[in-house]
């Protein structure tokens, strides 16, 4: 019982104010601390996080495209790729009406990636509970990869990559004594069919499915997470008028991810929690694929009215795209830290965090081979740059609004127009997300 209380106290403390904005403004990554968003990686986390409604009002950026999955992947050589297209969008062959906008630099002046979800635990007896959840319109990691490949425009004009709709998550799990286990399903798809001149139909269809499962095992005051999943993107492009750069009518790409992390509670320094973690992910869509293996260790520490974490993670990846004849591989180290603390009032939480990646990469574009060192940028206007900060508004520890600030905001007069010239553009806030504990 005492152990369970310690475990509960540990997890509740770590789960305060846990949303996308919290992660973004507190170190950019959530490998080494627990947050609500981790339930989409390991759904068994619902068993310890409790009941809540969560969501996001979305993300804005005036300067860069929103979708950048693994931004270190092929950036400096994009301009030299001969098969890269420059036209903006796919047009209906009969009406010339814009069907799908695939322009490379998508400015998101209005909020994008809005989503919401709910999770609930139903206790049948002290040792057994069922839990479940659902989320709608969330962009899954595999979908971000699909969008990133689509937006890289490595394919010739006329190749149709529709925006996927109906984005949904469904989770079901159970709590048995000290073990939580759950399974989840994510789906997004599009089927665009048009009437041809001879009563035939044509157009692309695509279906993205992801099945994943995980467990969380209580080991005294420690906790072990093991999780994994498979993903599948099914593509077909049929009918006259639409050519395929892939020269195929149908294709199915499979993805896989596996991971584990351990929350190891110690008595060092008043209760530092060490978190070793390993992850493997292989993502594939069309003729692009990437395989990432990573592992590292982090630690977290409870401050008075606050929380601090830091970690380092080694990463090795290899990627290729056949259409553009690009091969890339690299390895490097992520260094992260994040901190949040109530300041002046208990309901006001200030967050700041940093993420530095250094590594090497080798790129082959055609016959040209480049080896170089890389690091993430300082002030690119992207979510993955060096530093971030934000605030949390916390009402009685139940309703929380987490806000990612434009990092340039505090430098400018709020009544002036100078902010518009900053890397992130004129918005003072970049993301707002919220959680309400039930």
Partner 1 sequence: MIMKMSKTILFAALFIPGLLFATQARVESMGNNTDFIKDETSASLNPATAPAFGNMLSGSLGQIKETGNGQWTRDEQWFAGVLSYPLPSGLRLTGGVTLNKTFEIEKLYNSFKDNNTFLVYNYGDKLIPGGGDRVDYLDAIEMPEPFADIYAFGCVSPNEDLDFGLGVRYAGNKKTVEEDNAEISIVGGNLGIVYRFFGHSIEGSINFDRFSLDRTKVFNDTNVKDINISEQGNNFDVHLRSFISLSSKNTVVPIMILNSRHLLGFNTTDLGLGFGFNRELHKGLIWAGAKYVYHKSAYPDRIGGLQIYPSDASDVNSTPLPGGVEEISHKMVYSFGVEKKMLWDWFAIRVGGNKVYEYLRVSKDDFIYQKGLYERDVDAVAWGITLGTPDDRLKFDVTVSEAFPYSSFLSGGEDGVLVSRISAALKF
Interaction site with partner 1 (CB under 8 A) = 269, 301, 303, 308, 310, 335, 337, 339, 341, 343-344, 352, 354, 356, 358, 360, 368-373, 375, 378-379, 386-387, 389, 407-408, 410-413, 415-419, 421-423
At closest approach, how far in Å is the CB of 93 from partner 1? 40
Number of alpha carbons in the 13 Å side-chain half-sphere of residue 403: 15
Pick between residue 48 and residue 352 the one whose CB is nearest to partner 1: 352
> How many C-beta atoms lie closer than 10 Å to residue 197's C-beta?
9
Find out whether 222 and 262 touch, Cβ atoms under 8 Å.
yes
Minimum Å gap between C-beta 406 and partner 1 is 11
- Listed in order, strand segments (DSSP E) in 90-200 are 90-91, 98-100, 108-112, 115-125, 128-136, 165-176, 179-191, 194-195
Q: Quick one: tokens of 106?
A: 């998508």
What's the closest the beta carbon of residue 156 comes to partner 1, in angstroms?
A: 26
In the complex, minimum distance from the CB of residue 81 to partner 1, in angstroms, rounded to a whole number:
15
Of residues 201 and 266, the one with the C-beta less far from partner 1: 266
Minimum CB distance to partner 1 smaller for 93 or for 306: 306
Find, among 142, 165, 85, the residue nearest to 292 by Cα. Answer: 142
**Smallest distance, Å, CB 372 to partner 1?**
4
Name which of 66 and 408 has its Cβ closer to partner 1: 408
The contacts of residue 153 (CB under 8 Å, 6+ apart) are 84, 85, 86, 102, 104
Query: Cα separation of 328 and 293, whole Å?
Result: 14
Cβ-contact 412, 419 below 8 angstroms: yes
Question: Minimum Å distance from CB 355 to partner 1?
Answer: 9
Q: Which residues pair with 208 in a beta bridge?
A: 188, 233
Q: Smaller CB distance to partner 1: residue 245 or 391? A: 391
Helices (H), ranges, 241-367: none
Question: Minimum distance between the CB of residue 373 and partner 1, rounded to whole angstroms?
Answer: 5
Residues written for the chain: 438
Distance CA 239, CA 194 (A): 9
Cβ-based nearer residue to partner 1, 21 or 102: 21
**Minimum gap (Å) between residue 202 Cβ and partner 1:** 43
* Closer of 8 and 303 to partner 1 (Cβ): 303
Give the residue from 147, 136, 128 showing the smallest Cα distance to 53: 136
Question: Quick count: other Cβ atoms within 10 Å of Cβ 258?
Answer: 16
Nearer to partner 1, 193 or 369 (CB): 369
Spatial distance between the Cα atoms of 130 and 209, rounded to a whole number of angstroms: 24
């Amino acid at each position: 019982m005492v152990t369970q209380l310690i475990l509960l106290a540990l997890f509740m403390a770590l789960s305060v104010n846990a949303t996308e904005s919290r992660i973004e403004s507190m170190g950019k990554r959530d490998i080494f601390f627990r947050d609500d968003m981790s339930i989409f990686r390991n759904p068994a986390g619902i068993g310890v996080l409790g009941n809540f409604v969560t969501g996001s009002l979305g993300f804005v950026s005036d300067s860069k495209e929103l979708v950048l999955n693994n931004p270190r992947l092929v950036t400096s050589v994009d301009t030299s790729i001969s098969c890269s297209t420059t036209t903006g969008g796919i047009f209906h062959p009969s009406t010339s009406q814009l069907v799908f906008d695939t322009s490379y630099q998508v400015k998101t002046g209005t909020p994008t990636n809005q989503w919401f979800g709910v999770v609930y635990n139903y206790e049948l007896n002290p040792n057994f509970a069922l839990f479940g959840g659902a989320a709608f319109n969330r962009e899954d990691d595999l979908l971000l990869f699909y969008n990133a490949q689509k937006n890289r425009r490595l394919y010739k004009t006329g190749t149709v990559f529709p925006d996927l709709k109906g984005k949904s998550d469904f989770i079901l799990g159970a709590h048995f004594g000290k073990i939580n286990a759950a399974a989840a399903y994510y789906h997004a798809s599009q089927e665009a069919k048009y009437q041809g001149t001879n009563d035939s139909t044509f157009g692309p269809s695509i279906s993205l499915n992801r099945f994943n499962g995980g467990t969380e095992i209580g080991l005294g005051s420690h906790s072990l997470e093991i999780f994994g999943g498979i993903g599948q993107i099914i593509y077909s492009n049929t009918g006259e008028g639409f050519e395929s750069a892939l020269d195929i009518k149908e294709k199915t790409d499979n993805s896989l991810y596996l991971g584990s992390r351990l929350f190891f509670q110690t008595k060092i320094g008043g209760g530092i929690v060490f978190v070793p973690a390993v992850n493997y992910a292989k993502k594939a869509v069309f003729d692009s694929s990437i395989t990432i293996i990573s592992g590292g260790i982090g630690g977290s520490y409870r401050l008075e009215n606050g929380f601090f974490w830091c970690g380092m993670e080694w990463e090795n990846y290899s990627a290729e795209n056949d259409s553009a004849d690009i091969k890339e591989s690299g390895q490097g180290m992520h260094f992260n830290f994040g901190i949040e603390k109530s300041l002046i009032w208990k309901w006001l939480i200030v967050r700041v965090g940093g993420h530095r990646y250094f590594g090497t990469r080798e790129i082959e574009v055609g016959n040209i081979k480049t080896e170089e060192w890389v690091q993430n940028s300082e002030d690119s206007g992207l979510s993955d740059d060096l530093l971030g900060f934000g605030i949390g508004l916390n009402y009685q520890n139940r309703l929380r609004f987490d806000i990612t600030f434009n990092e340039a905001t505090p430098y400018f007069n709020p009544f002036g127009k100078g902010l518009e010239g900053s890397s992130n553009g004129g918005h003072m806030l970049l993301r707002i997300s919220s959680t309400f504990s039930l």
